[in-house]
Structure formats: C-alpha cells, structure tokens
Chains A and B, each alone.
Chain A
C-alpha cells in the first residue's frame, strides 16, 4: 500500500534559525510531490511541487526552498526563519495515473518564536 511519512510533527524554532522538514513516500514510483502551508484557520497555500527528481516548481516567492534528492523524498528548507513562516505544513503526493487525488502526510506544526 502507498503511505507517506512526514516529520517532525511539531517544531518550535527561533527567528533566524534554519529549517528542514522531510517527507518520504512508500509503495509507489514517480509520484508528484507537494508542500502546502496552512495558516491558523485558513485555507491551503501551495508552496512547491515536484514531478521528478531535481524538478521543483515554486508557486509563491518566499523564504523557503524545496528539494527532491530522491524519487520518493521531498524536503522543505529555510536558511533563516521568519515569524511569518509559522503554520501547519503538509506534504502530499499523487501517484500515476494521477486521477485519484492527493494523499496527505500527517503535517508539521511549526511555530517560529
């Protein structure tokens, strides 16, 4: 079966510190991978998506970057966190033939202090 793992579940980081969130997928090959952010009580904002190793599309200019070093690994990073980076970060994937929607990870709640 196809599964997605995202960690850590919660994170409290000071302003100006680096960030690394990781997401891995099992049970499928060549997935599309996505990072979303959700501010408190708000909708979903697509940050990055990837259709293959090393292929990253950025939807919103910001303080974050993403990388896909392996087919089923997706990493969200920042060199220096801002207060506005706080939120709930969700990784998701869709599998070929990409008709059945996304499967979301369990999420990371990031608080920048």
Chain B
C-alpha cells in the first residue's frame, strides 16, 4: 500500500521566517499535489506537480518534486499570518483511481 508521510505535523513559525514542509511517499509516482485547508473549510488546490524536477511557485509558496527521492517540498518564504492553515500533499498512483493523502501539516504563523 502506498504511504505518504508529511513532516512536521505541526509547525509554528514567526512572521518573516522561512520554512519547508516535507512530503515523502513510498512507491513510484510521477504526480504529486498540494492542497490547503483553512479551519472548518474544504480543501483548495495549490500546486500540481506532474514530472520529476517540477517546480511551481505562487506568492510566498514554492513546491518541488523529486520523483527519484520520492520527495516533495513546500517551501514558505517570509511567512505571513494569512498562510496559517493545514497543508496536505497527495500522491496519485498512476495505475489506480485514487489519491493517497499525507497526514497534513498544521501551520501557524505568529505575528
């Protein structure tokens, strides 16, 4: 069974600081997705990474994918309070019909 691990599970950081969230997965996949969830809300798609070496950036967030290492990172630059949310990565097993989600990283940005 495909396993997806995120770390850290909880992250508290000060505004203006940088940090990286890691997403490791256990089997071959070339597609990885990042989602954001605000408290009490649904999930919003952030990034779709479809190939080895893919890098996507949106504002203060940048995601990358290394399929050989089975690792994706979500890098936060100069954090602001509005980035406080839970971030999920998900992996798509190409032969299947479902995603496998990580456990989520709860990010709190402190002023």
What residues of chain A have their CB less than 8 Å away from a CB belonging to chain B?
32, 34, 43-44, 46, 49, 51, 57, 59, 88, 90, 92, 98-107, 109
Interface residues on B, range: 20 to 34
Closest 10 CB pairs of A and B: A101-B33, A104-B43, A104-B42, A107-B42, A44-B101, A43-B103, A106-B42, A101-B48, A43-B104, A101-B45
At the interface, is chain A mostly helix, strand, loop or mixed? Answer: strand
- Asked if B41 and A107 sit within 8 Å, CB to CB, the answer is yes
- Asked if A44 and B42 sit within 8 Å, CB to CB, the answer is no
The B90-111 residues at the A interface (CB cut-off 8 A) are 90, 92, 97-99, 101-104
Query: How far apart are B83's CB and chain A's nearest CB, in angstroms?
Result: 19
Query: How far apart are B41's CB and chain A's nearest CB, in angstroms?
Result: 7
Known: A90-B43, A101-B45, A103-B45. A46 touches B98 (CB 8 A): yes
- Asked if B90 and A49 sit within 8 Å, CB to CB, the answer is no
Query: How far apart are B49's CB and chain A's nearest CB, in angstroms?
Result: 10
Query: How far apart are B54's CB and chain A's nearest CB, in angstroms?
Result: 12
What residues of chain B have their CB less than 8 Å away from a CB belonging to chain A?
31, 33, 35, 40-45, 48, 50, 88, 90, 92, 97-99, 101-104
- Asked if A43 and B42 sit within 8 Å, CB to CB, the answer is no
Known: A103-B45, A104-B43. A32 touches B101 (CB 8 A): no
Residues of chain A with a CB closer than 8 A to B40's CB: 88, 109
Residues of chain A with a CB closer than 8 A to B97's CB: 32, 49, 51, 57, 98
Residues of chain A with a CB closer than 8 A to B99's CB: 101-102
Known: A105-B42, A107-B42. A43 touches B101 (CB 8 A): yes
Residues of chain A with a CB closer than 8 A to B41's CB: 106-107
Other than the given A88-B40, A103-B45, A105-B42, 11 more pairs (CB < 8 A) read: A43-B102, A98-B92, A98-B97, A99-B48, A99-B50, A101-B35, A101-B45, A101-B92, A102-B45, A104-B43, A106-B41
With the chains together, A73 CA to B103 CA distance in Å? 28
With the chains together, A104 CA to B36 CA distance in Å? 11
